[in-house]
Amino acid sequence: MHKELADYELMLKDAKFKVTKKRLRMIELFMEDERYLSAKEIQEMMNKEYPGISYDTIYRNLHTLKDINVLEQTTFSGEMQYKISCTDHHHHHFICESCGETRVVQYCPVQTWKNELDGVKINSHKVELYGLCEACR
């Protein structure tokens, strides 16, 4: 379950960033689409409402939103991709390599890894599974 737009607005304010129409619209785009999106895709979507918006503006805002945990990022198809952060519970993702559909995977293999890595302390981890969804197979 994702937060409401007002929650993200508060996150921006708490982090001392301006709450702008463009930033809020960018967040809305991610709220409307459950898959990972590239900076180029976001620029194309934003350009419909804000003609001439620069790639630099998109890129800076993506990093700002990632830094304050509004967005999470991954590398997919050779480029950075972003989606709305799912911080309400621990999980991993399956990502369709064709259409980009993203699904939550509840199982976490880290306990198995801890058993194999005697003496180490795991500080964090991220598991992403890649393949083809039913529609793309």
Residue ranges for the binding site for Zn(2+)?
96, 99, 133, 136
C-beta neighbour count of 55 within 10 angstroms: 11
Residue 7: both structure tokens together: 């929650």
In sequence order, which residues have a C-beta less than 8 Å from that of residue 1 and are 6 or more positions away?
88
Question: CA separation (Å) from 94 to 16, 21, 25, 103, 130?
Answer: 34, 32, 26, 5, 6
- Contact (Cβ atoms closer than 8 angstroms) between residue 92 and residue 128: yes
In sequence order, which residues have a C-beta less than 8 Å from that of residue 117 and are 6 or more positions away?
none
Task: Enumerate the known binding-site residues for Fe cation.
Answer: 90, 125
Task: Enumerate the known binding-site residues.
Answer: 90, 96, 99, 125, 133, 136
